[in-house]
Structure 1
Amino acid sequence: MKRVITTACLLLSLFSAKLIEAKAPIQVFVLAGQSNMEGQGVVDLDHEEYYNGGKGTLNSVIESDKSGRYRHVIDGRSNYLKRDDVFVRFETRQGLKTGGLSIGFTGYPGQHHIGPEFQFGHVIGNEIRKPVLLIKTAWGGKSLYKDFRPPLSGGITGEYYKRMLREVDEALANIQEENLELAGRRYEISGFVWFQGWNDMYDEGARNEYAMNLANLILGVREALDRPELPVVVGELGNGGSDTSDNMQSIRDAQRTATLDPRLNGNVRFVQTHQFARPADQSPNVGHAHHWFGNAESYFLIGDAFGKAMLDLLKR
């Protein structure tokens, strides 16, 4: 089954009940990490050989949904919605992607994938009566130990740490030009989400330093954005579920430890994700364990958990 995105009258009817406060400030959330933050959840690709016949795609998840948990993302004709109150900005290798939240804001061309931003944006947008902007800044195959290394950790500051902050600055400077719907509004940086860890898992030094480096990254981001109490969500390296290697478990433990660092003042939440892993034979990319086998339900539920954790932090 193929789906397309619908807008216009459909959006007015679906979102009119949640009126956005007139000229309310834009709530900005930064979503950073490596390839799983880029987004690998398959929406509709269903080639029998290359995508396991479409098992575990977003289409198949919605079609088999009996509870209605996933159906808020489509209309009555099974077309994917495009929100007019939540916007996404992602600089990809193919170019800049901007616009109302829907499928397709990943590192791939077209609208065939989702990442955590998809349901995260729905959760945040459904709760906050203000316009929302999600700034995604993510690159595959990058470590915290080297590529995202924060200044507080000493050594050479990671090129992708600097690039992450540069992209955030560019996004903030160009909000109104890139999203005409947001013209005339100021912004507030409201939260930061970190989803990363795969590359650090394979290096002993990176594993040993991960907790320190992550806490230092959070401190650095807060300082750079002038938000010393910025709410932060850290997503667990949950690939493979509960059956994990010692190296992966060490990263998971380090991620949890980092969120408890007293320097962060408690406004950080570690979010488990391993329970959202799905088997390879029920997923579209059976050989991609590092990408949750491309299972869209995994990415949907990860984004859902991130969004709910962020809302809890914002209510403090």
Structure 2
Amino acid sequence: MKSDHRQKRILPIALTLLFAIGFGGRADAEPNGPLKVFILAGQSNMQGHAQVETFEAMRLNPKAAPLLKDMVGPNGEPIVCERVWISSIGSSDQVQSGRLTAGFGAQAKGPKIGPEFTFGIYMQQHLNEPILIIKTAWGGKSLHTDFRPPGAGPYTFTESQLETFQKQNKDLDQLKTEKAQATGHYYRMMMDHIRSVLDDIPSVYPDYDSASGYELSGFVWFQGWNDMVDRGVYPNRDQPGGYDAYGELLAQLIRDVRKDLDVPRLPFVIGVMGVGGPTDQYGPDQQRYKGVHQNFRDAMAFPASLPEFEGSVATVLTENYWDQKVARLRDREKEIQPEVKELQEAIKSGKISREQGQQQIDALYAKTFNDRELEILQDSTSNFDFHYMGSAGILAQIGKGFADAMATLLP
């Protein structure tokens, strides 16, 4: 009888371990513990501009292909995560909430995904516990003004900016007033949305157990484009240290978020801008801004090097997920764009019929690309380069990268 009893006990334990490994979770997970809450914040690339129609092309990308099986079900449609819920503001005209699936990216010309989709999928695999994602992302926003943390103090115009304003006969007092009003506006909106969700979690996550409560488990920051291109704010951006102010602001953001949320060592992942890929692989046409891009990436990664953040802040170099093959195809496409536009104008003016014009455009593409290249070019992308080409293959890897980095910071 002892032998039978021991076997009955071993089987459930073995099954528990098997399921934990099978779902990428931890064997010591506590499903009935506090709800794990993660915050994702930033601008348009955190919103996400990868159309769902680019999912299928992930099969053509050796790095992205393995992720696709976790993103779609047997019917080929995007999965709906049973244990991951999300509340998102900024990506749509209205607050979006529900079980995590595709469609929580930027609203225009959707459905789209941002990093949130695979972040939630793989974070759930790491934890094997219910998760709530609070996403706050607005396109075209800066850290120097829009997300400026309160501890950084008021924004001060640079000397070069003041000189420019004077030459333009601008009203300096009015500009200073407008800047003061804009400073930190989106930081406050971010915090307001976080608090509103935490104050009423059941409205987003119906199965929330108030007795177990919640735990603020991590914060992911993915922003930077508007700061990187602002020569007025960063006049020495092409020189080493030209973006030091950004790195200092980001460090202050981490401090203020932790203070305002009352989580002194809240795990923080920084998604370092990587449009264009690693700068040491830049081609001839990219050399003119190679230094600027690398200087900015160094500034973004700076907070993780500070002793005060050791073990609680990590960086993800999104340059490592850039699809060089697709980028090269797009470069070749740019070479034929003048001819394509000329044909389009001829169609528009009535010089040639639409059918004739399209036949000539198709012939031009067929001459420039082989069938496989054309498939990759047309199916893999859905947006501009600065939005990571609107590629699900890239955004999916970035989201997983964020989850994997976050997992290393969790206790």
Give TM class, smaller chain. 0.7 to 0.9
Report the AA paired with residue 311 of structure 1: A
How large is the Cα RMSD of the aligned pairs? Answer: 2.4
Cα distance per residue 1:11-35 (max 9 Å; x no partner): xxx9997798453211000000000
Amino acid at match of 1:37: M
C-alpha separation between the residues in 1 aligned to 2:307 and 2:110? 42
The secondary structure found in structure 1 opposite 2:67 is coil
Q: Does 1:191 pair with 2:288? A: no
Relative distance call for 1:111 and 1:40 in structure 2 (3 A) is: closer
| Structural mapping, 1:40-55, within 5 Å | 40-44=49-53
User: Which residue pairs with 1:49 in the alignment?
Assistant: none
The whole-number CA distance in structure 2 between the counterparts of 1:179 and 1:63 is 36
Q: Which has the higher helix share?
A: 2
Q: Give the distance between the partners of 1:110 and 1:124, measured in 2 at CA.
A: 27
Provide the residue aligned with 2:202 in structure 1. 176
Does 1:304 find its partner at 2:400?
yes
Give the match for residue 386 of structure 2. 290
Q: Which ranges of structure 2 fall in alignment gaps of 5 or more residues? A: 1-18, 155-179, 235-242, 331-376
**Matched residue type, 2:203:** E
- Corresponding position of 1:275: 320
Structure showing greater radius of gyration is: 2
Tell me the amino acid that sits aligned with residue 298 of structure 2.
Answer: D
Matches within 5 A, 1:32-71: 32-44=41-53, 57-62=54-59, 68-71=66-69
More strand by share: 1
2:277 is matched with 241
Q: 1:263 is matched with which residue?
A: 308
Q: For residue 46 of structure 2, give the secondary structure of its aligned residue in structure 1.
A: helix
More moved, 17-26 vs 111-120: 17-26
Provide the rounded CA distance (Å) in 2 between the counterparts of 1:300 and 1:67: 10
Overall identity of the aligned pairs, in %: 36
* Other structure's SS at 1:123 match: helix
Task: Report what 1:163 is aligned to.
Answer: 189
Partner of 2:126: 127
Q: Is the 8 A contact 1:94 1:109 kept in 2?
A: no
> Any residues of structure 2 matched to 1:205-244 within 5 Å, and which?
205-206=233-234, 207-242=243-278, 243=282
TM-score (norm 1): 0.84
Task: Flag structure 1 segments of 5+ consecutive residues without an equivalent.
Answer: 1-13, 45-56
The answer to whether the 8 Å contact 2:97/2:204 transfers is yes
Please give the TM-score of this superposition, normalised by the length of structure 2: 0.65
Distance in 1 (alpha carbons) for counterparts of 2:78 and 2:381: 20
Q: How many aligned positions are there?
A: 289
TM-aligned CA distance change 1:183 to 1:85, over 3 Å? same
Looking at structure 2, the residues matched to 127 and 225 of structure 1 have their Cα atoms a distance apart, in angstroms, of: 24
